[in-house]
A and B are shown apart, each in its own frame.
Chain A
Amino acid sequence: MSQLTSLPRQLAETANIVLTTGDAVIGATPKDIVWTHRKVTLWRYRSAVRRHPVPVLLIFALINRPDIFDLRPGNSFVEHLLEDGYDVFLLDWGVPDDEDADMGLANYVCDEIPWSVREVLVASGQRELSIIGWCIGATLSAMYATLEPDDSPLRNLVLLTMPVDTGVSLYTTWVGRDSFDVDQVADAFTAVPGGLVDIANKMMKPVANFVTTYRKLFDSVRAGTANRVAYQSMAKWVADNPPFPSAAYREWITWMYKENRLIRGLLRLRGRRVDLAQITANVLVVTAGADHIAPRHTTMPFLDAISSVDVSHLDRPGGHIGLMAGSKARKETWPHITDWLGQRSGADRDTAPKRRST
């Protein structure tokens, strides 16, 4: 009987948590603007205990906001890096709109990333940097790393849940087929609405995303264990989907999923071949065991394609996002990344270990 009487309050509380999600504070760590171009902004987070000379540049995907790197106080990868003594920069793609329809992959890989790298080096006063890319951001970072192999300022490249060889994947089943007319979508929208991309992502695990999430929230409210801040910060980030510039969307779907050009060495940006064998930086590849967006097998061929001597692979439990932003990430993933980076971020480049490890 008491369960029945408390049901209205539990339902109301669950609804309140869902309805006030927009009020959650995410990306709260103080930061400065270093450089802007169009919608792109380069942010800098300053560490009070800086001890690693080589700065870190964070690059996220085009289909979500990069706040996931700095989700909430107490559960922020940026905070973790700052506490570990890194000078941290974040490349924020911003929220593209109709006027950015002409932004293609080449604009991101050949312009925005190199320009932001230049500004990171100027601002930090260093000659080299580390890049941590995640999801599409990891693929774009890897493409960038192939373009200027000689005299590159890139010392370390950390790639998180990165799609590379998309030959067999759910995305390819959906959008790689001839009946999926990518040109129709890209022509109809100058910027493909983020909501559409989000629905497609959620459709990959429909019950888990549309039912289980809310049922688990209700269960935790009933049990009195609901963590309002944790739920809302993640839910707010998940729902914040910037539009995908149509040129980049067309190229991403066609080149990566319909033609699988990157791993086959057929991708060209502004006439230059994107050859993964040109990558010589120290590389750490992180895959997630339960990743359904960029499954492990779509990343692994990358390790055989590059020329780097110092290559490490870390496979962690968790999903595409949970790997880095889940409740266990702070203990199970972040320390591995900062340990790996720490060994390779000294003033002298030659101190980095030279090996391949998994």
Chain B
Amino acid sequence: MVAQPPSEPTEASTARAGTPAEQIQRLYEDAESRASEAMEGLVASNGFAELLSLLTSNVVALIKVGGDAADTLIRTLRLAGRSDVARLSRQLARTEDKLELVLQELRLLQDREPPPPPRRPMPRAKP
């Protein structure tokens, strides 16, 4: 058996292959595309979903512990904390809710009330 000598690259195949930099770029994009598909398959799995649930639970718990500690510290220092600001803002929001209800009543009255008659021009005073 005689080994065949490697065939010379044709112009077309050279053009298709491109420069080494382009080849590297293509290889990278191909790898990225495959990784993308694989990762999308991974995140769609039940195992990942289960892990995500646990991670979310842990992160939320940590954030809550940190927030509670910060609130306690701020209250101990007799400073207004986020919860105090939120409480005031809630009161403002309730006031705004009431104003909105008044506006609704006004709109209802406007709908019910017939349009005012056209104004007559005032008679000119005689000289």
Contact = CB atoms under 8 A, between A and B. Distances in A.
Interface of A: 3, 37-38, 97-100, 115, 118, 122, 170, 173-174, 177, 179-181, 184-185, 188-190, 203-208, 211-212, 215, 219
Q: Is the interface of B mostly helix, strand, loop or mixed?
A: helix
A205 B32 CA distance: 12
B1 interface: no
A184 B65 CA distance: 13
Interface stretch (B4-12, B45-53, B118-126): B45-53
A118 B100 CA distance: 12
B64 A188 contact: yes
Q: Which of A180, A188, A203, A206 has the most CB of B within 10 A?
A: A188
A299 to B, nearest CB: 19
A179 B82 CA distance: 30
30 contacts: A37-B97, A37-B100, A97-B86, A98-B82, A98-B90, A99-B89, A99-B92, A115-B100, A118-B107, A170-B43, A174-B49, A177-B46, A177-B49, A180-B49, A181-B53, A184-B61, A188-B61, A188-B64, A189-B63, A190-B86, A203-B43, A205-B36, A206-B39, A207-B35, A207-B36, A207-B40, A208-B36, A211-B32, A215-B32, A219-B25
Contacts of A211: 32
A100 B97 CA distance: 12
Given A97-B89, A181-B57, A205-B40, A37 B107 contact: no
B72 interface: no
B30 interface: no
